[in-house]
Amino acid sequence: MKRIIALATTLVMILMFAGCAASNTENQSKAETKAAAASTSEAADTTTAEKNDTDNSSKALVAYFSATGTTERVAKVITDCANADIYEITAAKPYTSADLDYNDSNSRTTKEQNDNTVRPEIGSKKIDLERYDTIFIGFPIWWGEEPRIMDTFVESYDLTGKTVIPFCTSGSSSIDTAADNLKANAKSGDWKDGRRFSAEVTKNEIDEWLKTL
């Protein structure tokens, strides 16, 4: 009888050890699974962070001034085709129709364009250019040159390290003089050749121009 009890006791102990071993194995497996999941989650977070860094990388900006809406239309097409951000340069004192009368020698714009030291105040909020590596600068041609408010704009920012691409709208006047003036006044930035557009320019024409840049 004692022998039978001893055998039973031994069997119970063997089963207990086996159960503990199985439990330890199960716990270890759970721990390993949890660690693997954490590693996968961490990798996913890293990938998301890298993606966010890419999403927030430098891109293009279209900064423009438009008194009648013509340059604004071209600026919006460039923004769309280049997948860029857009920034409107507005005058603190808006230009009226009388101000834009080039036949009046006493009109505001006539006086401003006859004095290349004039710097009209910008009314739009200052923009941070840090995240942009390419900046399109658009404006109409007034009296054969850039509006003086564009000189205010380029002198207000450090364009070092930026690729600057000017564009303008006009009936026939070239952009050359205006682009040279802006580049000289900016004193920074890698300025590229500018492009003049007529009021009738199409989206396809603008898109083809962008493909050449």
pLDDT tens-digit map of 101-116 = 999 999 999 999 999 9
pLDDT of residue 15: 44
CA torsion, points 139, 141, 143, 144, in degrees to nearest 10?
120
- What is the distance between the alpha carbons of residues 152 and 30, in angstroms, rounded to a whole number? 66
Strand partners, 134: 60, 163
Distance CA(34)–CA(30), nearest Å, equals 6
pLDDT at 57: 54
Confidence at residue 58, expressed as pLDDT on a 0 to 100 scale: 57
* Upper half-sphere CA count for residue 94 (Cβ side, 13 Å): 5
Q: Which residues in the chain show pLDDT less than 50? A: 1-12, 14-25, 27-31, 33-55
Check residue 66 and give its pLDDT.
Answer: 98
What residues form DSSP beta bridges with 62?
86, 136
Reduced to 3 states, what is the DSSP secondary structure of residue 172? Answer: coil
* Distance from C-alpha of 184 to C-alpha of 179, rounded to nearest angstrom: 9
Predicted local confidence at residue 208, as pLDDT: 97
Burial of 45 (0-12, 13-18, 19+ CB in 10 A): exposed
Architecture of domain 59-211: 3-Layer(aba) Sandwich (3.40)
Q: What is the pLDDT, as a whole number, of residue 6? A: 46
pLDDT for position 126: 96
pLDDT of 153: 98
- Within the chain, strands assigned E span 59-64, 85-88, 132-140, 163-169, 190-191, 195-197
Length of the chain equals 213
CA–CA gap between residue 65 and residue 62 (Å, rounded):
10
